[in-house]
Structure 1
Amino acid sequence: MLLRPVSRLPSPPSWISRLSPPMPLRAKVTNPAFQAAVTMSTSTDIPKELPGDEPNDVLFNSMYGLRSIELNRPKKLNSLNGSMVRKILPRLKEWEKSHLASIVLISGAGPKALCAGGDVAALALQNEQGESGSQASTDFFGLEYRLDHSIATYSKPVISFMDGITMGGGVGLSMHAPFRIATEKTVFAMPETTIGFFPDVGGSFLLPRLDGETGTYLALTSERLNGVQALYSGIATHYLHSSVLANVTQRLSELVFQDDLDLPGRLDLVNKTMAEFSLGLPSLQEEPILLAGELRNAIDRCFRFNTVEEIFQALEAETEQKAWAQKTLETLSSRSPTSLKVTLRQQRLGKKWSISETFQREHAIAGKFMRHPDFIEGVKARLMSKPPRQAEWQPPKLENVSAEDVEKFFEIPDGESRLKLLSEGDYTRYPHERFALPREVDIEAFVRERRLGPKKTIEEFAKKWDQKEGVREKVAEVLNRRTISDNHGWRWV
């Protein structure tokens, strides 16, 4: 069946255009030291399967124009390993060149997970073999990041079904795709500080670009977002019930794009198509927005600082959300001090990194963690011990981790080779962010410029976002929290 492309979404509002000018394909590299070491290292060496790779740990399928990637290790919650990456990357590159392949879909086998993360237990055991094992683990991360970057810069629509647990490596396979579909079973988290690591797989790019300090909060605490909360936070672009995913897949496979339709037009058609299958969002009475209201204010208050010590002090001084602050302090106190400090520094620096620089820098950071004792200890304590135990971190306290220790994770030695990527695509803002709910900075820009009042502002955003579900709720929450009406009129505070 030949389907004509529906009309595109309306152009972004004028205030967004002024706030966020279009990004060129090759974004400027922001760090001079990094620029000197590498301009944009790419390689045509596409990984191949190796003897001993697991059979059938990834399943591939073709259905008309749809190409699907199904992670197939359900007993291990589809945790990602080198064997899987070596299968996926060649297929992605093959489909990118094929005129018959129109859309790529990523999903996980079984009812529990898209992907619970990388197979870190295997990496920890590998690291115990010494330098050769640490290097092999670092090489795995390089392979994984090349896959994530390929998805982030893919020239065709990519859709990820975040149906179930989506953590760590699963986030890398999802978050950089134009379409991330949350369901009632979605459980999102970046739990790396729990195991003496840092939020990688592009977390340096994704998390700092979330509203306010929510990215910093999620990065340091590993807080989970369930179901529709992934949509409200900006992690997911759509929320669908898991029961409709099979029908969505069938419908997407039937889409036929006209030859002259460019990538933005194809993405708009996919976006419209998925909206057809929405069964609505849970009511706010049933599932209120989690990172909202006074809790959100407290997150921004406490996590805005540039040192972990200041964040601890702010949490200790917090009075309006005292129970939450105490629980958060207990959580952070159990984390690796090194991981906390490196992660906070990563969140601040990552705001300026391009998507390519992100993965190349993260590769270097990951390599340093593979040689740090906290990673092995964290994985063994939290994932391999029965029952899990509190890890014994080295060093054990925040004051024992100096600023110099942290900066070593970000140093770029002269002449050191950079991770070779498989694509030259680059940007400093997601080019497809319009498919998610409006960002708080966009709402602020509109309020400051237009001053239409809450009701008209909500209607304007709903119209501009083509009546997308969740827009009204998100904009209303932001306006309730960030605007007041007094003798000076209605205004942003």
Structure 2
Amino acid sequence: MPLRAKVTNPAFRASASMSTAPEIPKELPGDEPDDVLFNSIYGLRSIELNRPKKLNSLNGSMARKIFPRLKEWEKSHLANIILISGAGEKALCAGGDVAALALQNEKGLEGQRQSTDFFGLEYRLDHTIATYSKPVISFMDGITMGGGVGLSMHAPFRIATEKTVFAMPETTIGFFPDVGGSFFLPRLDGETGTYLALTSERLNGVQALYSGIATHYLHSSVLSNMTQRLAELVFPDNVSLPERLNIVNKTMAEFSLGLPSLQEEPILLAGGLRSAIDRCFKFNTVEEIFQALESETEHKEWAQKTLETLSIRSPTSLKVTLRQLRLGKKWSITETFQREYEIAANFMRHPDFVEGVKARLMSKPPRQANWQPATLAEVSNEMVDAFFTIPEGETRLPLLSEGDYNRYPHARFSLPSEAQIEKFVRSNGQGQNQVIQEFVGQYNHKEGVREKVSEVLARRTQSTAQGLRWVE
């Protein structure tokens, strides 16, 4: 499978003109009242998604309310920190309101256009958060999937709790892992992003921290007190954004009650399983991934279960998603959302989305979807190419912020990546304990660093007389 869509389009060239920047979205007649609650506590501004009966699933009404507040707070000297949370005990946000979109799509081209407009609105919101000029914190307390991940993943601080359930379940409904998944999934360690994207595997609680999805792990019982403490922080006018972020980071660390022990909750994507994930999901075609899973001998039971999982996913979704992840490694955060908008538009016109949502989310009990095409062999490269092009004469999705980057500027608040650990091991002839202590010191004794570095060293290095040697 080619790593670049065969059809190039001038709308995606770096020099291509953007369409005029859109106005800040405003509420429309008929938008639900009180589906988002806003609050000000000293210097803290909170956004609480308030549809608990629908697990706070995101819709256009909510996005239109959030936009003006974010823009207003960005200009305000009184607003120091932005906090995103969800009402109720169960979820931050279980995703976009895809059931409503599927019903809309059945109305034909006009309905499909309206659904596509929703994704444009959602992606503009996610991009605004990703490039925001003030500290943003997301409480991933409870179910955090799809659209909820978009509101969280691009924030500098993402708090997992014992109730966190993370997943990108889009391939189960004939869609693709959007909301910036093209950006953050390929940048996770090894092939974990590919694995999570194609299988929709869930990460619970502290696993979100170990995998790089969350930046911190706190018990849900401390969130209220921590919120109050954050509200009381005062930043002098001349303090830069990086320093503000450092102050917030140190303040949050004060509220940690520790991580679950590894005996209680061992790292899930670790050891031999993690090696098998990298081994099987490193390929650039879905067919090769299937073959690798069929040939897997060390983790045969896991490979068989994974094959069964993938075999009931939309073949189109699997192929588009894999292409998206391979291309997304090179996309900036801005290009990510512009590309994903076009991919989403194509899926709104594709039969698998309506069929997938109806089969998995609206049928009682859920049933197996009838995908079109039904097999991987029927999904050609040309069909996949079409998802990555803009119709001639159209321009890229205009965004509300000019900020852009190729790497998260706030990645230092997460646990060290495997690539960082590899670089250090290769350039320093040190033993295991020395390497661990070096990272623990660099990260100011951040919880999870010792466990993460120890796991990577155990899996990827050998001890020699000259120190640790990285194993390919």
TM-score (norm 1): 0.93
Match of 1:108 among 86, 91, 109: 86
Query: Partner of 1:430 in structure 2?
Result: 408
CA distance in 1, matches of 2:115, 2:468: 55
CA distance in 1, matches of 2:52, 2:378: 41
Query: Partner of 2:149 in structure 1?
Result: 171
> 1:350 Cα deviation (Å)?
0.2
CA distance in 1, matches of 2:48, 2:11: 39
Say whether 1:383 aligns with 2:361: yes
> 1:140 Cα deviation (Å)?
0.2
> 1:111 Cα deviation (Å)?
0.2
* Residue type at the aligned position of 2:457: L
> 1:317 Cα deviation (Å)?
0.2
Say whether 1:131 aligns with 2:97: no
Give the 3-state SS of the residue equivalent to 1:208 in structure 2: coil
Give the 3-state SS of the residue equivalent to 2:155 in structure 1: coil
Say whether 1:79 aligns with 2:57: yes
Q: How many residues align?
A: 464
After superposition, the Cα gap between the structure-2 partners of 1:469 and 1:305, relative to the gap in structure 1 and judged at 3 Å, is: same
* Residue type at the aligned position of 2:303: A
Q: Which has the higher contact order (CA 8 A, sep 6+)?
A: 1
| Cα offsets for 1:231-253 (capped at 9, x unmatched) | 00000000000000000100000
> 1:411 Cα deviation (Å)?
1.6
* Residue type at the aligned position of 1:176: H
CA distance in 2, matches of 1:218, 1:156: 30
Give the 3-state SS of the residue equivalent to 1:420 in structure 2: coil
CA distance in 1, matches of 2:460, 2:19: 43
Give the 3-state SS of the residue equivalent to 1:410 in structure 2: coil
Cα pair 2:11 2:396 within 8 Å, conserved: no
CA distance in 1, matches of 2:454, 2:17: 43
Query: Partner of 1:147 in structure 2?
Result: 125
Say whether 1:339 aligns with 2:317: yes
Give the 3-state SS of the residue equivalent to 1:209 in structure 2: coil
Q: How does 1:84-483 map to 2 (within 5 A)?
A: 84-483=62-461
> 1:36 Cα deviation (Å)?
5.4
CA distance in 2, matches of 1:47, 1:32: 28
Cα pair 2:18 2:396 within 8 Å, conserved: no
> 1:451 Cα deviation (Å)?
1.9
After superposition, the Cα gap between the structure-2 partners of 1:42 and 1:228, relative to the gap in structure 1 and judged at 3 Å, is: farther
Give the 3-state SS of the residue equivalent to 2:47 in structure 1: strand
After superposition, the Cα gap between the structure-2 partners of 1:32 and 1:44, relative to the gap in structure 1 and judged at 3 Å, is: closer
Cα pair 1:42 1:424 within 8 Å, conserved: no
> 1:38 Cα deviation (Å)?
3.2
Give the 3-state SS of the residue equivalent to 1:282 in structure 2: coil
* Residue type at the aligned position of 2:179: V
Q: How does 1:12-31 map to 2 (within 5 A)?
A: none
TM-score (norm 2): 0.97
Cα pair 1:42 1:421 within 8 Å, conserved: no
Cα pair 2:158 2:215 within 8 Å, conserved: yes
Query: Partner of 1:12 in structure 2?
Result: none
* Residue type at the aligned position of 2:396: R
Identity %: 81
CA distance in 2, matches of 1:256, 1:39: 41
CA distance in 1, matches of 2:77, 2:53: 35
> 1:490 Cα deviation (Å)?
2.7
* Residue type at the aligned position of 1:274: M
| Cα offsets for 1:163-200 (capped at 9, x unmatched) | 00000000000000000000000000000000000000
Query: Partner of 2:3 in structure 1?
Result: none
After superposition, the Cα gap between the structure-2 partners of 1:123 and 1:33, relative to the gap in structure 1 and judged at 3 Å, is: closer
* Residue type at the aligned position of 1:283: S
Give the 3-state SS of the residue equivalent to 2:186 in structure 1: helix
> 1:414 Cα deviation (Å)?
3.5
Cα pair 2:44 2:79 within 8 Å, conserved: yes
Query: Partner of 1:5 in structure 2?
Result: none
**Unpaired stretches in structure 2, ≥5 consecutive residues:** 1-7
Q: How does 1:17-56 map to 2 (within 5 A)?
A: 34-35=12-13, 38=16, 43-56=21-34
CA distance in 1, matches of 2:129, 2:257: 28
After superposition, the Cα gap between the structure-2 partners of 1:267 and 1:344, relative to the gap in structure 1 and judged at 3 Å, is: same
Give the 3-state SS of the residue equivalent to 2:373 in structure 1: coil
